[in-house]
Chains A and B, each alone.
Chain A
Amino acid sequence: MWAYWQSVPAHWREIPARYRLEGGECQDCGYRMIPREDICPKCGSRNVKPIDLPRKGKVVNYTVIWNAPRGYEYYTPYVIAIIELEDGTRLTAQLTDVEPSDVKEGMEVEMVLRKTRVSGESGLIAYSYKFRPLIK
């Protein structure tokens, strides 16, 4: 009984957000979010449209994980960060292509698509966004 075991459809239906940062924008109050919600968390409007969010942002807070959940041991130690995208939308993401000791608050980062975890005995590989230091 793996808490994070994921079937194909459970991952597949999240693909718009996980592969290309598709979020939502409230047409009434302008609040942006990822994933897209049917109801705006800020104003309660039902008028939320899909929107492609910017793929660059900065690290606003982070932690280095030494005790990983099952399925993520391979990456340990890895960094989980709160990223603020260029439009102000925030999300939680894993950082990649960086030593944990080199991560700083305010560090500029960009989205890349990476292998994220392998689920179950069938070995389903799930890919999703991670963020790496911005290559200028």
Chain B
Amino acid sequence: MVYIVGVGLTPVGNHWSKSLRHLAVEASVKALEDYGKDVDYVVVSNMLSGVINGQENLGSYVVSHLGKIGTPAIKIEAAGASGAAASVVAQGLISSGVAERVLVVGVEKMTDYTSLEDTTSALSTAIDSEYEGFPGGTLDAMHALVMREYMKKYGVNREDFSYFPLLMHKNAVDTPHAQLRFKLKPESYMRSPMIAEPITLLDLAPVSDGAAAIVLSKEPDGPNGNAEILSVGHATDTIAIYRRESLTEMPAIRAAFSEALERANIERDSIDLYNIHDYSSVIGYITTEELGLAERGKAPELFKNGGADRDGPTPVNPEGGLKARGNPVGATGVYQIAEAFLQVTGRAEGAQVEGAKTALTLSAGGLASNVIIHLIRGV
């Protein structure tokens, strides 16, 4: 059994005065102070430091700046699922007896690329660079192809996609560490600039800096709250979407979810909240459908009618999700697990879902080509 025993977050945003190392150290120190004891392994998660910051070897990079020289440390990458993947590896280190207490720190510093063209290029390394990126495709473009297919198949229009970012922004207002803490007006969404038709700026997660850290331990020995990682479900899909049978179904999500439920041996009704990977509005909708929160093609109604609200029957992203909490890509998965940990230990401040005991986090790399689900329960 592996427990989450400590947490530390930096606000997500544009940290012009902070480097990759400042962010990683800030979150790590907060998590270690929250836990109150030392760790014997560090697992760093990141996606873009090589491309954007010209820095790899993040294991020794982080421990060097954290004053923990000598402690074993590695970096794990799985695009948007990097943070969740780091948690999976850390759990393996603990359950195999290699380590007893592991610091998992996710960090991303995206704003050192100051133009959208370069950030778009960097993010698009999550798709097939040689046969989707090279012809001029982008990660956003792949989401656009999915959105067009979804609109055609279910007969929904652009307005139907507004319910997703509207809720995410509303939730983020109450989240201390969120990047976009303001409400969105429906008319702002409809006027949003086109990125890759039909995807607009307000359908997409913002460009973000941030770091999040959690401490995992084989004992529930955290002084400020503990949560058990009940299970992990993990599955992959083709990196190139032109090789897929369907663009409106994400079989890796289904596979990861059923595996996670089976391993945890719990019913889906006992999940109190869903922290999902909403890189775009449409993938947010398809994810809720794959998780069984809405029938296929009906996710827009779930979000329109309050079913996914923080006080609704199946809360989705009570902190605001990638859309409004922000998406420091390689750190996002750690933010998600950290948020779930705060929720199930009753420490989620303004974003708290009343009485939450069990949470699901779903992180996805690329276009749901690497999907990792955690089921987490407060103890």
CB-CB nearest in chain A for B152: A105
Which of A61, A129, A130 is most buried by chain B, counting CB atoms within 10 A of its CB? A61
Query: Which of B5-13, B83-91, B138-146, B327-335 lies at the interface with chain A?
Result: B138-146
From B116, B196, B241, B242, give the contact of A65 (CB < 8 A): B196
Number of A residues whose C-beta is below 8 Å from B?
41
Within 8 A of B (CB), among A77-97: 78, 80, 82, 90-94
Known contacts A67-B195, A69-B121, A128 near B51 by CB under 8 Å:
no
Q: Does A53 belong to the interface (CB within 8 Å)?
A: no
Q: If A4-B129, A35-B131, A70-B117 touch, does A65 touch B138 (CB 8 Å cutoff)? A: yes
- Is A12 positioned at the interface, with any CB of B under 8 Å from its CB? no
Within 8 Å of chain B (Cβ to Cβ): is A52? no
Contact residues of B: prevailing secondary structure: helix
Mask for A8-21, Cβ within 8 A of B = 1, else 0?
A: 00000010011000
The listed residue (B117, B131, B145) touching A61 by CB distance below 8 A is B145
Chain A's nearest CB lies how many Å from the CB of B145?
5
Residue of A nearest to B238 (CB): A41
- The count of residues in chain B whose C-beta lies closer than 8 Å to any C-beta of chain A is 42
Chain B min CB distance to A132 (Å):
14
* A3 adjacent to B131 (CB under 8 Å): no
A37-93 CB contacts (< 8 Å) to partner B: 41, 61-73, 75, 78, 80, 82, 90-93
A80 touches B134 (CB 8 A): no
CA distance A82 to B118 in the complex (A): 24
Contacts of B240 in A (CB 8 A): 92
B243:A41 contact, CB within 8 angstroms: yes
Knowing A61-B145, A69-B136, A94-B135, the reply to whether A4 touches B197 (Cβ < 8 A) is no
Q: Which residue of B lies closest to A73 (CB)?
A: B117
Q: Nearest chain-A residue to B52 (Cβ)?
A: A1
Nearest CB on B from A7, distance (A): 13
A82 and B121 within 8 A (CB): no
Residue interface bits A94-122, CB-to-B below 8 A is 1, else 0: 10000010000000000000001100000
Cβ of B120 within 8 Å of any chain A Cβ, yes or no, is: yes
**The residue from A33, A61, A75, A90 contacting B149, defined by CB atoms under 8 A apart:** A61
Chain A neighbourhood of B149, CB < 8 A: 61
Give the nearest-CB partner of A84 in chain B. Answer: B242
Whether B194 and A66, one on each chain, are in contact in the complex, defined by CB atoms closer than 8 angstroms, is yes
With contacts A2-B121, A68-B117, A90-B243 taken as known, whether A80 is within 8 angstroms of B137 at the C-beta atoms is yes
Residues of chain A with a CB closer than 8 A to B241's CB: 82, 92
Which residues 110-161 of B sit at the A interface, judged by CB distance below 8 A? 115-118, 120-122, 124-125, 129-138, 140-141, 144-145, 148-149
Contact A82 B145 (CB under 8 A): yes
CB of A111 to closest CB in B, whole Å? 12
Task: Give the Cβ gap from B228 to chain A, nearest Cβ, in Å.
Answer: 38
Give the chain B neighbours of A61 by CB distance below 8 A. 145, 148-149, 247
19 pairs, A vs B, C-beta closer than 8 Å: A3-B121, A4-B124, A61-B247, A63-B198, A64-B194, A64-B196, A65-B196, A66-B196, A67-B195, A69-B117, A69-B120, A70-B120, A80-B196, A94-B136, A116-B134, A116-B135, A126-B134, A129-B135, A130-B135
Beyond the given pairs A3-B121, A82-B145, A92-B241, 18 more chain A to chain B contacts, judged by CB atoms under 8 angstroms and listed by A's residue number, are A1-B51, A3-B124, A3-B125, A3-B129, A63-B197, A64-B194, A66-B197, A67-B138, A68-B120, A69-B124, A69-B136, A70-B118, A92-B131, A92-B240, A94-B135, A116-B134, A128-B134, A129-B135
User: Measuring CB to CB, which residues of chain B are less than 8 angstroms from any residue of chain A?
Assistant: 50-52, 54, 115-118, 120-122, 124-125, 129-138, 140-141, 144-145, 148-149, 193-199, 238, 240-243, 247
